[in-house]
Chain A
Amino acid sequence: MESLMDLLEEARKKEGFSRVRSLRVTVGAFSCVDPGALRFCFDVVTRGSVAEGAVLDIEPVPGTGWCFGCNREIRLDGPGEGCSLCGSVRIQRTAGDDLRLEDIIVE
């Protein structure tokens, strides 16, 4: 959460805005971040900052992996899940690590 505030501060120095109206954050299925906890922390941490009262838009990103059982890309909702098609656990993850601040709307 401090890292998110650092990014906002860096952006403020570069772009010179006075207030952040909204933020769009992508959260991958494998990112270890719980959207509810993120929202709670966000409200607490942004108090008294340029982002106080900003709308936090959390976009979940599904995980994907390559299943060696069926030799195809499958959807994964989190770690520890076998392939829903063949049951294999031999899966190489291909996407879903995201924890990114995509864009912000400022004034």
Chain B
Amino acid sequence: MCVTCGCGGEQEHLPTKEREEGHRHSHAHESDHSHSHDTPGERERKIRLEQDILGKNDHLAEHNRDRFHRDRMLVLNLVSSPGSGKTTLLERTLEALSGAFPMGVIEGDQMTSLDADRIARTGTPAVQINTGRTCHLDAHMIAHGLEKLPRLTGGVLFIENVGNLVCPSSFDLGESVRVALLSVTEGEDKPLKYPYLFEGSPVVCLTKIDLVPHTGFDRDLFTASLARVRHDARLFELSSRSGEGFSRWLDWIREGVLEASRGSRSREATFS
């Protein structure tokens, strides 16, 4: 079950056997906890654990991060509400950067492979992870998703997280940078309503800006909301349909790929 909202269930993306073997082979790790024996009751005893409840995910995320670093890859974790334009942004981005360096995509959705199918049509290798009743991707799912992609040494991996502004905030996937998307059809105050997600995203894309004349989206109000939650967020305002603002976004990715290929961490690194 999802630790954050309780909306989840078992990880249904992999057969049980594979999950167990995966744990036994690559993720086995011992917790080093100490315990005292100051017994509070007759047959009772107190055990000190002091363990991070999300420690297992964090541990696996570090494994992923080490691997990405070894392969000198840039990894972007795209998070947003459903319908903000993540897949369309990815399609346009992949088309524009085609042939420049190796690229791959991990798509997270509760059900269907519709998004991975769309990505595959751009010629980029894509893996679909169905999270079933779970509302976010976690580091373990990413580790297994990677097994189905070619090596992306010196390139970029895009992870399209499940459309959700709540739970993905808590789960480090090992990415270089978490990128939050918000479309101009949503409210300017979303960063204030979902502060955990925006606070954890050093980069924000404001999408569908070609629709501003129709939605009356107030950019100043939005940037003020964002600044309250994350004053140093790097903001890209763009439209996947018209292409406006796209060159800055693409330049930023190219720069990130170059930095990663030199073995340095991105300036916007989500986790240092």
- Whether A89 contacts B46 in the complex (CB less than 8 A), given A41-B1, A101-B51, comes out as no
Q: Which of A11, A44, A82 contacts B33 (CB 8 A)?
A: A11
Contacts of B3 in A (CB 8 A): 1-4, 33, 38, 41, 99
Contact of A37 with B4 in the complex, beta carbons under 8 Å: yes
CA distance A106 to B39 in the complex (A): 9
Indicate if A70 sits at the interface (CB-CB under 8 A).
no
Within 8 A of B (CB), among A47-65: none
A47 shortest CB reach to chain B, Å: 12
Contact: B50 with A103, CB < 8 Å?
Answer: yes
A1-B46 Cα distance, complex, nearest whole Å? 21
> Which of A6, A25, A80, A103 interacts with B192 by CB under 8 Å?
A80
Residue of A2, A21, A32, A82 with most chain B CB atoms under a 10 A cut-off: A32
Interface string of A10-38 (1 = CB under 8 A from B): 11001101000100010000111110011
With a cutoff of 8 Å between Cβ atoms, the chain B residues found around residue A21 in the complex are 41, 44
Complex Cα distance, B57 from A33, in Å, reads: 16
> Which chain B positions have C-beta within 8 A of A4?
3, 53
CA distance A99 to B54 in the complex (A): 7
Are the CB atoms of B1 and A104 closer together than 8 Å? no
Residues facing B in A78-107 (CB within 8 A) are: 78-82, 89-91, 99-107
B49 with A102: CB separation less than 8 A:
yes
Nearest Cβ on chain A to B95's Cβ, whole angstroms:
35
B231 x A89 contact (CB < 8 A): yes
Q: How far is the CA of A103 from the CA of B37 in the complex (A)?
A: 12
Please give, as numbers and ranges, the residues of chain B lying within 8 Å of A31 by CB-CB distance: 170
Q: State in angstroms the CA–CA spacing of A30 and B228 once bound together.
A: 15
* 8 Å CB contact of B195 from A1, A10, A79, A107: A79
CB-nearest residue of chain B relative to A90?
A: B231
- CB contacts (< 8 Å) of A106 on chain B: these are 44-47
Q: Can you list, as one digit per residue, whether each of B1-14 has a CB less than 8 Å from chain A (1) or not (0)? A: 11111100000000
Question: A79-B196, A80-B192, A90-B231 known; A32 and B4 CB under 8 Å?
Answer: yes
Q: CB within 8 Å of A: which of B29-43?
A: 31, 33, 35, 40-41, 43
Specify which chain A residues have a CB less than 8 angstroms from the CB of B52 in the assembled complex: 99-100
B47 touches A15 (CB 8 A): yes
Task: Report chain A residues within 8 Å CB of B45.
Answer: 17, 105-107
Most buried by A among B48, B53, B199: B53
Determine the chain B residues whose CB is within 8 A of the CB of A82 once the complex forms: 228
Known: A79-B198, A80-B192. 19 other contacts (CB 8 A): A1-B6, A2-B1, A3-B54, A4-B3, A11-B47, A14-B33, A32-B169, A41-B6, A79-B229, A80-B195, A90-B231, A91-B231, A99-B54, A100-B53, A101-B53, A104-B49, A105-B40, A105-B41, A107-B45
By a beta-carbon cutoff of 8 Å, the part of chain B in contact with chain A is: 1-6, 31, 33, 35, 40-41, 43-57, 166-167, 169-170, 191-192, 195-196, 198-199, 227-229, 231
On A, residues with C-beta under 8 Å from B are: 1-4, 6-7, 10-11, 14-15, 17, 21, 25, 30-34, 37-38, 40-41, 44-45, 78-82, 89-91, 99-107
